[in-house]
Amino acid sequence: MMNETQKLNCEVGALAITVNAKFSGNIGKVVRVIDSLGMMPWPEIDGLVHVWQVEIAAEGSFLYYFYPNKHQLDVQSTGPIPDCFLRRLVPENDQLRLEFEDCQTREAIEPSTL
């Protein structure tokens, strides 16, 4: 059982990469966390795990889900993924922020050069 104070890898709005999955085609996908589905069971994981609703961040990329009840493999642009299968791409608290306050870069660039 997950400890209430256990640190999650992601949060709503975070960009993350999938680092584990039943289907190898789902590994390495960049996703945006769009909602929390809370604690729930996940196939092949003991106990309850925190599951996020995610959407694929790259156009033309998909997630693959097998639904035993329907006996089919679905290809989707959004779906559930356990927190333990994700790693955040941008550090927590915007630690990877570019600071422009000390330079005049924005003013020196002409709009036509962008």
> How high is the pLDDT of residue 16?
96
Does the structure show a pLDDT above 70 at 45?
yes
- The answer to whether the CB of 51 falls within 8 A of the CB of 42 is yes
pLDDT, tens only, 61-97: 999 998 778 888 899 999 999 999 999 997 655 555 5
Phi-psi region of 89 (alpha: psi -120 to 50; beta: other; left: phi over 0): alpha
Residue 22: per-residue pLDDT: 86
pTM for this structure?
0.73
The answer to whether residue 109 scores a pLDDT higher than 80 is: no
